[in-house]
Amino acid sequence: MSRLRAAAARGLRRRGSGSAAPAGEGSRKGASLREGAPARPHALHLFGDPVEIDALRGRLLTWYDKSRRDLPWRALAAVEPDADRRAYAVWVSEIMLQQTQVATVIDYYNRWMQKWPTLQALAAASLEVVLELAGHMPRTAEDLQRLLPGVGRYTAGAIASISFGQATGVVDGNVIRVLCRLRCIGADTSSLAVIDCLWNMANTLVDRSRPGDFNQALMELGATVCTPKSPLCGECPVKEHCHAWRRVEKDLASASQKLFGKTTLVPDVEDCGTGDCLLCLPAAELWDSSLGVTNFPRKAAKKQPRVERTATCVLERRGHRGAPEYLIVQRPSSGLLAGLWEFPSFPLALGLQEEQQKEVLADHLQAWTRQPVQTESLCFVGEVVHIFSHIHQTYVVYSLCLDGDVVLDTASSPSRWVTEEEFRASAVSTAMKKVLKARETQRGVQNGRAKASKRKRESKLGAAGSAPTGIQLSLRAFLRAQSAP
Ligand code: SF4
């Protein structure tokens, strides 16, 4: 629960969510086709016929009414008369669904809604933005995106269409797959041309009288029928509108014609023939018959993650009954890991030697704690690697034990001392949990060494037959001492 709760709370706190977000979530608003591109894509890639659009809407909604899964947020959205509560429930479910699968989300969602059934209940758990909005959800996709932290284009569209009946489309991973197959879009789905095209298509297709159901139906179709690897085209309610499916049918028809010696050519449907189309399959990766409809969509080009190094210091002091306490600081309210707590961390330039890294860290800590920090007092713990979706981050971890409290620079971020238990209950990232684990492992090794060296000392003393007052000899050492001449 804690990982999802942190993620959901972060989502509810943050403006402009980033990683793994559905298309358009955090993407540039109003992005347009690349310079020099045709103003309007070829008809093959569009829904331009109103009669066809009506037919597709009807088929999809009829299928959805019959086949939809019973999900708690859908049930609530259908019967809850209070628009704020409806929108809140959809918001919570959407944030959670961005983290994991439907089956996993159900339990988390139910527990969350039991604990914080309304926006007001959540506001009481200290969400400033909710207080600012006086507990009322904005009513349109535009306002939702503008006013709520962590709400991007997709989440705003989902809340507005499902909770408030706004006729606005949504584009998530499932919708991308369905639309790309329906209209043979084979270009990189992360390109602006494709993202624009898909959002326009979603807005064109969305049913005006049942927008929330239509959007959920499209997503449901992608999740249960038009799946990534094994689509069930035979059961698909919209196959009559699907160019990818028609292309497969055409291949089968051609194969059977060849078998019977006929040569009638069926026109291609997968290539719009414009030559430099920004939406077709790339010229170097044309239609592969063995893939069938899964020719679409093609995988987005993977960007290499950025390499970063960060110096992190586990600052410790002895707390109650000698148990260690750690100083943690809060990250800024926007950007990566916004609002989460962490050990004091400072970015490192790439290529620094170990001594230089220590110097950088000591300088930062000195400025921050306003007391001298010697590089020798920094104990190297190890390196902790954490991969974010777009960053390959290496934390170079040091520990530093302090005798008392420190007076921190008031201009710096909020900070507090926590026990290990409090640390684990705090909104900290997985990376910081790894850092603490590394420090605990180091402490275990240090304690083990200390005990071993103590045993060695005692054993030496025992062998010499004398022991200072207060030191307990082992039984063997005692007997040896007594029997010595
Ligand atoms: Fe997807 Fe097949 Fe339906 Fe086309 S016909 S939308 S590929 S399931």
Model confidence over 198-214: pLDDT tens digits?
Answer: 999 999 999 999 999 99
Neighbouring CB atoms inside 10 A of 106's CB total 17
Are the C-beta atoms of 163 and 147 separated by less than 8 Å?
Answer: no
* CA 406 to ligand 1 center in whole angstroms: 63
Instruction: Please state, in angstroms and rounded to a whole number, the distance separating the CA atoms of residues 473 and 483.
Output: 14
* CA 245 to ligand 1 center in whole angstroms: 6
Q: Both tokens of residue 469?
A: 């007052």
Output the pLDDT for position 475. 42
Output the pLDDT for position 134. 67
Q: Both tokens of residue 304?
A: 């290499």
Neighbouring CB atoms inside 10 A of 342's CB total 21
Output the pLDDT for position 192. 92
Output the pLDDT for position 445. 84
Question: Could you tell me the sign of the dihedral formed by the alpha carbons of 64, 66, 71, 72, in that order?
Answer: positive
Cis omega (within 30 of 0) on the bond before 305? no
Is residue 233 within 6 Å of ligand 1 at its C-beta?
A: yes
Output the pLDDT for position 140. 95
3-state secondary structure of 367: helix
Check whether 433 has a pLDDT greater than 50: yes
The DSSP letter of residue 296 is S
* CA 168 to ligand 1 center in whole angstroms: 23
Q: Both tokens of residue 119?
A: 């926006």
Mean of the per-residue pLDDT values of the chain: 83
Check whether 464 has a pLDDT greater than 90: no
The active-site residue out of 25, 94, 325, 342 is 94
Most ligand 1 atoms within 8 A of CB, residue of 239, 249, 269 to mutate: 239
Tell me, what amino acid is at 153? R
Are the C-beta atoms of 339 and 14 separated by less than 8 Å?
Answer: yes
3-state secondary structure of 113: helix
- The pTM of the whole model exceeds 0.75: no
Is residue 184 within 6 Å of ligand 1 at its C-beta?
A: no
Are the C-beta atoms of 50 and 214 separated by less than 8 Å?
Answer: no
Instruction: Please state, in angstroms and rounded to a whole number, the distance separating the CA atoms of residues 213 and 389.
Output: 31
3-state secondary structure of 334: coil
Distance of CA 327 to CAs 115, 358, 383, 413, Å? Answer: 29, 19, 19, 12
Report strand pairing: 324-330 vs 391-401.
Answer: unpaired
Output the pLDDT for position 471. 44
Output the pLDDT for position 309. 95
Among residues 36, 33, 34, 45, the alpha carbon closest in space to that of 273 is found at 45
Instruction: Please state, in angstroms and rounded to a whole number, the distance separating the CA atoms of residues 234 and 426.
Output: 49
Among residues 397, 380, 385, the alpha carbon closest in space to that of 308 is found at 385
3-state secondary structure of 381: strand
Q: Residue 29 — pLDDT band, cuts 50, 70, 90?
A: very low
Query: For this structure, is 376 an active site residue?
Result: no
> Phi, psi at residue 462, to the nearest 5°?
-60, -45
Check whether 27 has a pLDDT greater than 50: no
* CA 53 to ligand 1 center in whole angstroms: 16
Cis omega (within 30 of 0) on the bond before 297? yes
Per-residue pLDDT reduced to its tens digit, 151-183: 899 999 999 999 999 999 999 999 999 999 999
Q: Both tokens of residue 140?
A: 């349109």
Neighbouring CB atoms inside 10 A of 142's CB total 15
Q: Average pLDDT for residues 21-29, to the nearest whole number? A: 49
Q: Average pLDDT for residues 381-410, to the nearest whole number? A: 87
Q: Both tokens of residue 328?
A: 């943690």
Tell me, what amino acid is at 20? A
Residues 6 or more apart from 388 whose CB is under 8 A from it? 19, 305, 336
> Phi, psi at residue 93, to the nearest 5°?
-65, -40
Is residue 348 within 6 Å of ligand 1 at its C-beta?
A: no
The DSSP letter of residue 392 is E
Instruction: Please state, in angstroms and rounded to a whole number, the distance separating the CA atoms of residues 270 and 125.
Output: 53
The residue ranking higher by pLDDT, 473 or 188, is 188
The residue ranking higher by pLDDT, 46 or 481, is 46
Is residue 185 within 6 Å of ligand 1 at its C-beta?
A: no
> Phi, psi at residue 98, to the nearest 5°?
-75, -15
Residues 6 or more apart from 92 whose CB is under 8 A from it? 8, 12, 73, 109, 112, 113
Check whether 371 has a pLDDT greater than 60: yes
Check whether 262 has a pLDDT greater than 70: no
Angle at 179 between CA 176 and CA 183, to 5 degrees: 135
Per-residue pLDDT reduced to its tens digit, 278-309: 898 888 888 888 999 999 998 777 778 899 99
Instruction: Please state, in angstroms and rounded to a whole number, the distance separating the CA atoms of residues 311 and 383.
Output: 9
3-state secondary structure of 317: strand
**Torsion angle, alpha carbons of 470, 476, 478, 484, to 10:** -150
- Phi/psi zone of residue 236: left (φ > 0), alpha (ψ -120 to 50 degrees), beta? beta
The residue ranking higher by pLDDT, 255 or 381, is 381
Is residue 297 within 6 Å of ligand 1 at its C-beta?
A: no
